[in-house]
Structure 1
């Protein structure tokens, strides 16, 4: 007699369908999962949006109105085009539909600061639609994983509060770009090096800031793909080089034809913007700046004459003056050297043992180095390593604990982007919900043992409690104590406190890279 709970054998037709498409149930689950995420993204359409919203609207108008030869020379508005050509082509593609929805959206001369419901809805929906790239990349990376780990990665990536804050409130297209990165990494993990290199080249032509991982890609592909003897290896090197050069020619070729490569590069690399962004990204330079200010204060009290800085950390022309009173001036070349030096252990490992299982960690580590030591880093750049690390967060207890802390640090560091009062409940709710989902997800996935837990050290517990203290000071105590004075102090506290967590993450990742085979 058949047991009522016994799984019934598949019929012949069901077996045939299952063998034909073994991942069909995964696709179905991800579709429903993504639809839920889309529902919440739609609820955020009326939320606050930054100046980036007008920047991208202007790029729609610019690419729609002007011939290609004027895209990187036009100065009709302050929001000049400063992304690589593939992103400009992407904006031109979107403009085809925007002009049909509302012609004013793509009006370069009369549409400045246009805020009609039509433009808001269209641009919000364009970000949601472009997230299909991210969804596909997550499916491709997780389709062969066990159910619990697969769902956890979906939660960490598709429901990432950082992406919701930056893309669907603040307004950008990071999910689309990170989806391209994950497609490339998925190809490398599966041994499809040529396609992985091709997709990464495409990504660089969408957003050049992803080039920080370029050295890792070069060393890994040279050692892993271009192997097999001198003749065969050289042939593969030529093949890869041809593919990459072909991608860059497709992107930059038209502008080379017009003799505008210098204008394009000048827009893409505006080194005159200063060492830090307007709101300090929580990286190494926070400690350097605060150390300079502390030394200047101490020496002044000791009777030394200290010349106050004549330049800003967030602007001014490089070389004209120094924003530092005591410590040496930092230039773009110094940050470039520091990033390359920080990445070097990863390059050595990739050279000695180009392991596909390590490539995601190595690329994430490279982006962490770029974030910590780079020039004029935006706080949003933490997503470049946070999202890839979600893929490896389910591999061990240590990975889960590290990601739990890092994701809290990264998301909290984005809070100042949403500075209006009506958005405060949104960002707090997103972070708290994310923490709860991580706690439950890591526990259920088996990544964290029942005895170990996610927070197993008192210093980690104290650090996490510190976020409550920092937030309470900035939101409630600072206005009571200082009123309107020292408005930058709460932001500085967030930068400093999150920078501690970022430095911890970098050291932890470096240890994993060094200890890897």
Structure 2
């Protein structure tokens, strides 16, 4: 195996090649499709620029109200200083509604691209002290920085996930180096940017308590006070001004709109897809059998405040039930972290926690799969089994994002991005795990040395069957459905994607759980 480069300067230079390629692709995507999230963030620029801080979380000028934690609001405020000079109308709260001039589009697209520098640095930092060859290091950088999921969600659909995931990877990198206090600090900062990352907070708490707060009662208690103080300072910096203005109730009401339905407008491929389908199936047959079953009128997927429809047959799922389910699902990981807090396992534990949140959480967005797919990229080269799992999971996850880009002109873009990613993984993993033959010492069969062969990277019949299934789902939705059914059952293609990808996500969850339990 190729030895890691001796020069830190050489490593620093290598990281900018994948970053430069990614930047070129992002610039080419500037004129492409934009979702309503583009207007959401433009309105947040205007809101934070035009109003005093005391009104940020109570303003209702636009339907796209501020619902991220304060640090993200401060981030938008920072961007608004430059935005107001690029195009003043962009930051005008009333006249700028649904505003999208060429300068506005360029500014917002570039703001996402520039903020991705945090992701680039975190990918570099996560690999710089690992015992990787140059090829292995470059492959992980490519899996993270060239992620088609990030291209689709951030640079087409429009969000800032690369920036936020960069902070998550930065936190993990410090924990892996044994710098627990700094790692905990960055995770606290991340929570004040986007609270949905709090799903991994139990893992952080148990790990830091057992790994950092050790060394006897006095030393351990002192470290507990220290890291607790760091977290409190971070949260005080974020929420303190709103507490001063008496706005905490408005802040939390916006951040936790539990009146929304169990599922998002597009059913994220998780466990609740099957629960809802089972309820509908049971209601259908009970009506056929003569039972008086009243099916709910509202949709489970509207995503609007107040849209929390009851189930027809099965017990209604509440936010508290999903919270308990997620915590129970994470518990095996917490036990492992408590018994043996190993820095090398942090990436897998955090990824597993986000997988549990995705599968069993309340009103989960399909984009949340990035929370565990991106960190798992850093562990994909641990073994061939890890590589095979990541190969399968990343394809399923990124394919599940296809419905976000529903216009015809973006169809070739998302297909090409996924195909290139698949080719990169296949040849990258094949090079990392080539077939090897080893002679068994002292064993001779018919005058020849008996050899054993370690197989090259392969996805096996199960992986091939699953990927061919994805191909069938895509061909049906794009070409066959309209030919066979016309305008009937228009929801079927989207439902097929959600259900099929949910099967893949559940398989990944079981795989991760099994490996976490078996690793001592």
Please give the range of the TM-score, normalised by the shorter of the 2 chains. Answer: over 0.9
CA distance in 2, matches of 1:402, 1:34: 25
Measured after TM superposition, the shift of residue 402 of structure 1 is 0.1
Are 1:60 and 2:63 an aligned pair? Answer: no
Question: Using a 3 Å threshold, how does the CA distance of structure 1 residues 447 and 360 change in structure 2: closer, same or farther?
Answer: farther
1:267 to 250, 254, 266: 254
Say which SS state the counterpart of residue 64 (structure 2) adopts. Answer: coil
1:165 pairs with 2:142: no
Give the C-alpha shift of residue 32 in structure 1: 2.1
1:220-259 alignment to 2 at 5 Å? Answer: 220-259=207-246
In the TM superposition, residue 142 of structure 1 has moved relative to its aligned partner by: 1.2
Q: Deviations over 1:348-377 (max 9, x none)?
A: 000000000101100000000000000000
Deviation at 1:460, TM superposition (A): 2.2
* Counterpart contact for 1:396–1:448, Cα < 8 Å: no
Report if the CA contact (8 A) 1:57-1:106 is conserved.
Answer: yes
Instruction: Measure, in 2, the Cα distance between the counterparts of 1:472 and 1:314.
Output: 25
- Answer yes or no: is 1:380 the counterpart of 2:383: no
Match of residue 469 from structure 2: 466
Contact 1:318 1:331 in 2 (8 A): no
1:107 aligns with 2:110: no
Contact 1:308 1:325 in 2 (8 A): yes
Asked if structure 2 preserves the Cα contact closer than 8 Å seen for 1:287 and 1:496, the reply is yes
Q: CA deviation at 1:296?
A: 1.4
User: What is the RMSD computed on CA atoms of the aligned residues?
Assistant: 1.6
Measured at CA, do residues 421 and 374 of structure 1 come closer, stay the same or move farther in structure 2, by a change above 3 Å? same
Contact 2:265/2:303 (CA < 8 Å) preserved in 1? no
Q: Distance in 2 between matches of 1:96 and 1:319?
A: 36
Answer whether contact 1:442 1:448 (CA < 8 A) is retained: no
Deviations 1:127-151 (A, max 9, x none): 0000000000011011232111101
2:404 to 411, 417, 425: 417
Please state how far the C-alpha of 1:512 moved relative to its aligned partner.
1.0
Distance 1:324 1:460 in 2: 35
> Which residue matches 2:338?
351
Alignment of 1:445-484 (within 5 A): 445-446=432-433, 452-484=455-487
Shift of 1:495: 0.3
| TM-score for the superposition, normalised by structure 2 | 0.93
Deviations 1:388-439 (A, max 9, x none): 0000001100000000000000000000000000000000000111100000
Check 1:168–1:303 CA distance in 2 against 1; reply closer, same or farther (3 A cut).
same
Distance 1:317 1:58, change over 3 A: closer
Cα offset for 1:447? 7.5
Gaps of 5+ in 1: 1-17
Judge conservation of contact 1:473–1:490 (CA < 8 Å) in 2: yes
Residues 491 and 448 of structure 1: is their aligned pair in 2 closer, same or farther, counting only changes over 3 Å? farther
Pair 1:488–1:451, CA change in 2 (3 A): farther
Following superposition, the deviation at residue 454 of structure 1 comes to 4.3
The corresponding residue for 2:169 is 182
Aligned match of 2:8: 23
Q: Deviations over 1:48-96 (max 9, x none)?
A: 0100000000000000010101100100110100000000000000001
2:204 paired with 1:217? yes
**Equivalent in 114, 119, 124 of residue 109 of structure 2:** 124
Match of 1:490 among 486, 493, 499: 493
Q: Partners in 2 of 1:132 and 1:116 — Cα distance? A: 25
Q: Over residues 171-203 of structure 1, what are the superposed CA-to-partner deviations in whole Å (9 max), with x where a residue is unaligned?
A: 000000000000000000000000000000000
Residue of 323, 331, 338 corresponding to 1:336: 323
Between the aligned partners of 1:462 and 1:394, the Cα distance in structure 2 is 23
Matches within 5 A, 1:296-335: 296-315=283-302, 322-335=309-322
Please say if residues 56 and 66 of structure 2, whose CA atoms lie closer than 8 Å, have aligned partners that are also in contact.
Answer: yes
Distance 1:139 1:471, change over 3 A: same
The equivalent of 2:72 in structure 1 is 87
Q: Deviations over 1:190-243 (max 9, x none)?
A: 000000000000000000000000000000000000000000000000000000
Alignment of structure 1 residues 500-515 onto 2, 5 Å? 500-515=503-518
Query: Is the contact between residue 277 and residue 314 of structure 1 (CA under 8 Å) also seen in structure 2?
Result: yes
User: Within 1, Cα distance between the matches of 2:311 and 2:480?
Assistant: 30
Q: Post-superposition shift, 1:479?
A: 1.0
Task: Using the TM superposition, name which of 437-446 and 76-85 deviates more.
Answer: 437-446
Q: TM-score, normalised by structure 1?
A: 0.94
